[in-house]
Amino acid sequence: MPRDDVPVLHLDRPIVDADLAYVEGTAHLVGSTDAELVGVAASVIGIGNRWDAERFAQFPDLQVISRMGIGYDNIDLDAARAAGVVVCNGPDSPTVSTAEHTMMLLLAITKELPARSANSAAGQGAPKVATSLELNGATLGLVGLGRIGSRVAVASQALGMNVVAYDPALSSSAIEGVEIVSLDELFRTAHVVSLHAPSIPATRHLVDATSIATMRRGVYIINCARGPLIDQPALLAALEEGHVAGAGLDVTEPEPLPMGHPLLGRLDVIVTPHVASSTAAGRRRLFEHAVDNAIAVLAGRSASVVT
């Protein structure tokens, strides 16, 4: 039976023993159906349903939505305000795991791992012409220098890369050796472009046919942020033509890509199914930070509030 002195939290995925152990004595978990959300004040969500005015109206007792992660694309913030619902996210939760995944994609695609693995599987030796990128001395352009972008910057510098960044919120970088540049300069100079920006109207299809045309021939593009940042038909055309040498994508539009999509199965593209934060430790942080935020809001304490 739930205790009367602790809040009830709805979890939009199946509850596991580790979840129960974490909240023991501080909250009671229910989930993951809508029926169990009725009358509950807080919902801890992964990505799940689209939260709009109609959905908020179905749950008038709801006071808090706490995201397991950074993005809240599926939550209508105006509708949340109108319903009196506080929306929280966990900006620190996926930082380490997502930065590591970015580096994995960066290394794998610039070293042509899919193609070289296919060579071995076919009983072939090394190609006669070496085309992979040596990262030492190459320029990495980071679109966004927040928590994840900053960690990628430091890791890339350890490989000998020159790092430039574009971030409209920054006039200078706190990371030694990282220069803040315009987006145009970043696109013109980077050997590898890595996206770490939110999905908002201003960033939709930030990488499109026009911006790709300004990039170096042979550029590599990495996206562990949000799928809508890239115009995928434009990316595919640039890959076919050879202007883009390769792409590493953890996010796509839509997600997942349908079977047979032309980006899938290419030897110059690696697509992973939005799993950059999916280390065991990362998943626990996502859950724990979201729960902590929900409990804090219900108790009137400070939390990572979006609105």
Residue 277 near residue 69 (C-beta atoms within 8 A): yes
Residue 255 among the catalytic residues = yes
Residue 193 near residue 187 (C-beta atoms within 8 A): yes
Place of tokens 């039976």: 1
Residue 263 near residue 252 (C-beta atoms within 8 A): yes
Residue 240 among the catalytic residues = no
Half-sphere exposure of 307 (CA within 13 A, CB side): 13
Residue 267 near residue 155 (C-beta atoms within 8 A): no
Residue 3 near residue 26 (C-beta atoms within 8 A): no
Place of tokens 């006039």: 171
| Set 67, 226, 285, 289: catalytic member | 226
| Set 13, 266, 274, 283: catalytic member | 274
Residue 133 near residue 106 (C-beta atoms within 8 A): no
Give dist(CA 172, CA 149) in Å, integer. 14
DSSP 120: H
| Set 50, 217, 255, 301: catalytic member | 255
Residue 226 among the catalytic residues = yes
Three-class SS state of 231: coil
* Rg of the chain in Å (alpha carbons): 21
The three-point CA angle 175-177-178 to 5° equals: 65
The set of catalytic residues is 226, 255, 274
